[in-house]
Amino acid sequence: MRNDLNGNVMNITKKDLSHSLKEEVNLSKEESSVFVDEFFISLAKALNKNPKVKISGFGTFIKFYTKPRIGRNPKTKESFPIPSKEKVKFAPAKKTKNMLN
């Protein structure tokens, strides 16, 4: 687990998650790595099929689309279209919010 220079943001890699899972649940390195990979693959597949994926007691992942808009190059002032993008946001469950406070 890593912090930025100010110590404000913690970046957690799949490797970090796998290591934590290995330590906490006493799985082998390979088992924990496969579990983490499969979790994210399953989440991505579920979001491809559904606009919302709820993990009870943790939160909901919500797929949405940004609106297309017109962008502008600040140097040349040239306008260009920016197409709609697919994005995902996360809404934590009450239980998760309470754990943070």
The model's pLDDT over 58-99, given as tens digits with 9 standing for 90+, comes to: 999 999 999 999 999 999 999 999 999 999 999 999 999 998
pLDDT at 6: 62
| The CATH number fitting domain 50-101, selected from 3.20.20.140, 4.10.520.10, 3.30.70.141, 3.90.950.10 | 4.10.520.10
**Domain layout of the chain by residue ranges:** 1-49, 50-101
Residue 1 confidence (pLDDT):
44
Residue keyed to tokens 């609106």? 67
User: How far is the C-alpha of 54 from the C-alpha of 79, rounded, in Å?
Assistant: 39
Predicted TM-score of the model (pTM): 0.75
Show contacts of 44-53: CB within 8 Å, 24+ apart. Answer: 47/88
Position 37, amino acid: D
Confidence of residue 5 (pLDDT cuts 50, 70, 90): low
